[in-house]
Amino acid sequence: MTLINNSNGSSSPIDRKNLQQFTEKVVADLGGAITAVLVYIGHKLGLYRAMADAGKPITSQELATITKTSERVVREWLASQAAGGYVLYDGQTQRYSLPPENALVLVDENSPVYLIGAFQNITSFFKDSSKIMEAFKTGRGLPWGEHDPDLFSGTEKFYKPSYLSNLVASWIPSLDNGKVQKKLEEGGAVVADVGCGHGISTIIMA
């Protein structure tokens, strides 16, 4: 047990084991936050898609050429992605590859495990941080329409796989003993699409 002096002059007992465990947790969270930004960048620049479309391991120069980006920066991005397990690296050939399982999560927008939208949402929260801090002070809240556009696009990407799998097949038929589905099929319903991205649920229903 260690004593640490507080700013008010008092002392607090510090458990070194608890301190170590919490520090490790925070460092892990920081790593996750940094990874989230790099995943968002990889998506926006088309790096993951280019790797998936290549169909074979490629070098950093090949990826940079395909995506019209700087090889030097792409090389660093690939190194971090390999260290995090998002892509694979072959030290003998110095080539990188995106496993098909990873592509389902990072590239295929119709995959039931596609998660890029969640990374895009996280990015929007950082962009909106000043507005959120103001909401803390005023209690006014932050209307949906005042969020960063990445939230709308990210929400659509994140929920689209679930909508494709369940909305028409099971969710709507289960409402009010099928009456909602019947009304929609007859064209006699007005639908309000709020907070679902860019209307992807309404488009699927149509």
Structural domain spans, the chain: 1-107, 109-206
**Over the stretch 170-204, which tens digit does the pLDDT of each residue have?**
999 999 999 989 988 888 778 888 877 788 888 88
Dihedral of CA 106/112/115/116: which sign? Answer: positive
- CA–CA distance, 40 with 46 (Å, rounded to integer): 10
| Spatial separation of the C-alpha atoms in residues 120 and 153, rounded to whole Å | 8
pTM of structure: 0.81
Topology classification of domain 1-107? Arc Repressor Mutant, subunit A (1.10.10)
pLDDT in tens, 5-40: 666 666 778 889 999 999 999 999 999 999 999 999
